[in-house]
Amino acid sequence: MLLENRNAIVTGGSQGIGTAISLELAREGANVCLTYRKHENEAMAIVGQIKEMGRKALAVKCDISVFAEAEAAVRQALAEFKKIDVLVNNAGMNWDAVSWKMTEEQWDRVIDVNLKGYFNFVRQVAPLFKEQKSGKIINITSINGLRGKFGQTNYSASKAGIIGFTKALAKELGAFGVNVNAVAPGLIETSMLRENEAKDKIIEMALNEIVMKRIGQPEDLANVVAFLASEKARHVTGEVIKVDGGQYI
């Protein structure tokens, strides 16, 4: 197993991509603390699945955009695991509108969750990783942070910010044995997509771009995250790895 006896935090682990990441890290041997904001029942179900694998697990309610709540979540993970080895910043949101109709609230909320939320957790674990001279940080961004997307200036800006954040962190923490990377998915089939009224149009548009002519699954992303969290990726840092089936080349 790639992550035997490692301890990981996964933000937004109660649904979709975050769930797939949490379960894959556990399959590879890691104990997992996952955060959630609204979906408590789903989070507890994932905790149960992880414990059935023989790993430790806990779910912590947390609005990642609130610094004190991020601090408390990491404190709970430390109390349970005694050490943190991996942070996966995954939780995020979108609130779409064209720029000339976007409200200040739409802009601020997406930036606060998608960008500040990542900083809030990094600020807690970076001193720990620096002191122990080891650690893995994986930030989930998006191909739309690389190319932009119509109607998503707030989301695209936040995801582009994560890329710059990742590269700067890699430079700051590399000397202490800490790897920092980002994973940029294209369209991934999650419950959010399946429940979208416009899902057929969204999928059709994406398939016209995707050279492999298939929609990505959460597991496609989780497998890459597990690799980056392991020592097999010990010489990889500051990278942005697209998992998009060639949607953006």
Say which CATH number the domain at 231 has: 3.40.50.720
Q: In this structure, is residue 1 part of a structural domain?
A: no
3-state secondary structure of 139: strand
Q: How many domains does the chain have?
A: 1
Confidence of residue 76 (pLDDT cuts 50, 70, 90): very high
b (16+ CB within 10 A) / e for 228-239: bbbeebeeebee
Provide the pLDDT for residue 195.
80
Q: In this structure, is residue 205 part of a structural domain?
A: yes
Q: In this structure, is residue 27 part of a structural domain?
A: yes
> Does the structure show a pLDDT above 80 at 192?
no
Hey, how many other C-beta atoms are within 10 angstroms of the C-beta on 106?
17
The strand order across the sheet containing 31-36 reads: 57-61, 31-36, 7-10, 86-89, 135-140, 178-185, 240-243
Hey, CA dihedral for 138, 144, 148, 150, is it positive or negative? negative
The token duo for 191 is 């419950």
Confidence of residue 205 (pLDDT cuts 50, 70, 90): very high
Q: What is the mean pLDDT of the chain?
A: 97
Q: In this structure, is residue 148 part of a structural domain?
A: yes
Please tell me the distance from the alpha carbon of residue 33 to that of residue 37, in angstroms, as a whole number.
14
Please tell me the distance from the alpha carbon of residue 202 to that of residue 186, in angstroms, as a whole number.
12
Asked if residue 60 lies in contact with residue 129, where contact means CB atoms within 8 angstroms, the answer is no
Query: Residue 135 is part of which domain span?
Result: 7-243
Q: In this structure, is residue 234 part of a structural domain?
A: yes
Confidence of residue 193 (pLDDT cuts 50, 70, 90): confident
Q: In this structure, is residue 101 part of a structural domain?
A: yes
Confidence of residue 190 (pLDDT cuts 50, 70, 90): confident
What percent of the chain clears pLDDT 90, i.e. is strictly above it?
95
Hey, how many other C-beta atoms are within 10 angstroms of the C-beta on 92?
23
Q: Which of 36, 118, 155, 248 is catalytic?
A: 155
Per-residue pLDDT tens for 101-157?
999 999 999 999 999 999 999 999 999 999 999 999 999 999 999 999 999 999 999
Confidence of residue 225 (pLDDT cuts 50, 70, 90): very high
Q: In this structure, is residue 249 part of a structural domain?
A: no
Provide the pLDDT for residue 196.
80
Q: Is 36 a catalytic residue?
A: no
Q: What value does the mean pLDDT take over residues 175-199?
A: 91
